Structure 1
């Protein structure tokens, strides 16, 4: 049982999400460990993905909508030569056509890089995949897709600042079927290591590890190309859709086999100043009976750090605000005005943190947004009591 002083605290937690659990599973683990009900995250990672997940608790959940809009960096592996139902390794492999197999044979690194530069870099329009978390008439697209319903999503503008090929590997998958297969986590089909280093010595994401259950009686070798890539992109970009679209442009088909998010705005998982504050966890499975009395098994996250350590290493509201937006200093009288919803005479461009000071130090009074006539209005206000 957590004390009331802990339940009233606020902060940002940086989590290195393990593979095999949902972002919601991480939120539930933080909520349970800290004994704090108000917990949320900034930007979903799929179960197969790993890397930086930003979680806010207490009043810091109000900062998440600012954080989620920042640009992001990913390391990923794209497999050309195979398309799947979900555009990633969790889906079923779609039957390959003869012309797509020929396209794989004719591929080269220069062709791939020029296609990326010409069509998938800069300002582009992207149609999210049908297994995304976008809502369609109030329901998540992935829920509709899993029910076999057709999902049509509109294209949306995104910006790709960097889409760099780090490694190019032609592979032959032995014993692969010409028809449909399903993928589950298991051995590496190619027998290669799942990670490697590039020319700079930096670790890059390698071939995903999959088991293939053959549902076609005739089997043959399958030629594919695995690309290790680094992508820096705007909020709202789907890396699975980039893999799908690259495969479509090249005529090979393509899907994502691994994904790791390394940065969200100024929160970088490789930043030495932040590495000691990152929460980690191990995945375990548990079996239970659902409401229908059926036995089910699902994964859960066991955090490696206790509550006291997570709270100690969390990022305060003021420090988080300094990392994600511009700030302005306000006095205690102005802070009280903002707390009552009154406007501040100030020129701001975009979300801006209003920081005040008292005998205990600086605290976040409000997040301001532009208003007419050189005024700023408080979009969100914060109470002093739960900041430190």
Structure 2
């Protein structure tokens, strides 16, 4: 091979090597800017507030989350960052969710939570007849486990006729809502004292814990609302692995990303027994 041909061949190899290295760099950049962030949402923030904050922090507009948390609630929010991650968000939206919660029995709330108008229920002076822990556990066993129908609350982000239900509720309007089929997999009573029930509940996607509180109160004819709510798990993700929103900065957010390739091919909670 002549000197000229060797030089040309060497140039081609160099160009090809540079092209391959560039592709690897681009792919690495792509991988480092798309994935999932586990955020421990604080009380007072909407789920959209978290998304808006992360858009500002990351500079990426394509961001979504796997399941809304009410403003009063805290806990796990799985956030998809980047186009590739948001394409997979449905994998996690439909997964089972676990909550730590407290129900206040004997009171009602217009919103089913502490942010509504709270009213005591007239028990006719029969406070001693209120359920004890054993009666509450028996009621749960009989009526609050397994598959059932649940009517979504008016104060929710569900859209009917192009309008979000909570927008209609704030106008004093109530519309017909279709029942949804849900499953309560477990409902473990942790404590029951001074008419406050503390429990851990695992449910299917789309279940409203506020409605469970209201239904339990109505079961005893006393009313109830959800006093506190914290989401601890979504499928295989745990809030113990989540980060406070103020810990996620422009300098470190990429180090918190769970890469798509690190996700299970099929989340355990989606595998039917």
* Superposition TM-score tier, normalisation by shorter sequence: 0.7 to 0.9
CA contact (8 A) 2:236 2:268 kept: no
Q: Does 1:324 align with 2:267?
A: yes
Q: Does 1:84 align with 2:109?
A: yes
CA contact (8 A) 2:40 2:76 kept: yes
TM-score of the two chains, using structure 1 as the length reference: 0.59
Q: Does 1:267 align with 2:231?
A: no
TM superposition shift of 1:8: 8.3
SS at match of 1:150: coil
CA distance in 2, matches of 1:103, 1:124: 30
> Unaligned regions of 5+ residues in structure 1, if any?
171-224, 282-302, 327-348, 351-388
Larger Rg: 2
CA contact (8 A) 1:103 1:250 kept: no
2:200 to 230, 238, 244: 230
CA distance in 1, matches of 2:219, 2:114: 20
Q: Which has the higher strand share?
A: 1
SS at match of 2:86: helix
* Residues 204-224 of structure 1 deviation map (CA, whole Å, 9 limit, x = unaligned): xxxxxxxxxxxxxxxxxxxxx
CA contact (8 A) 1:85 1:93 kept: yes
CA contact (8 A) 1:266 1:323 kept: no
Q: Does 1:311 align with 2:254?
A: yes
CA distance in 2, matches of 1:314, 1:161: 30
1:298 aligned residue: none
TM-score of the two chains, using structure 2 as the length reference: 0.83
Q: Does 1:69 align with 2:94?
A: yes
2:212 aligned residue: 242
TM superposition shift of 1:7: 11
CA distance in 1, matches of 2:154, 2:79: 26
CA contact (8 A) 1:104 1:252 kept: no
Alpha carbons of structure 1 residues 66 and 103: separation in structure 2 relative to 1, 3 Å: farther
2:221 to 227, 230, 251: 251
2:172 aligned residue: 148
SS at match of 1:33: helix
* Number of equivalences: 243
> Unaligned regions of 5+ residues in structure 2, if any?
1-25
2:243 aligned residue: 279
TM superposition shift of 1:94: 2.9
1:128 aligned residue: 152
TM superposition shift of 1:139: 1.3
TM superposition shift of 1:241: 0.3
1:25 aligned residue: 49
Which structure exhibits the higher relative contact order, with contacts defined as CA atoms closer than 8 Å and separated by 6 or more residues? Answer: 2
* Residues 230-268 of structure 1 deviation map (CA, whole Å, 9 limit, x = unaligned): 000100100000000000001110000100000000001
Matches within 5 A, 1:358-377: none
2:122 aligned residue: 97
SS at match of 1:308: coil
CA contact (8 A) 1:71 1:264 kept: yes
SS at match of 1:307: coil
Q: Which has the higher helix share?
A: 2
CA distance in 2, matches of 1:254, 1:131: 16
CA distance in 2, matches of 1:318, 1:97: 56
SS at match of 2:219: helix
TM superposition shift of 1:91: 0.4
CA distance in 1, matches of 2:96, 2:119: 32
CA distance in 2, matches of 1:116, 1:102: 22
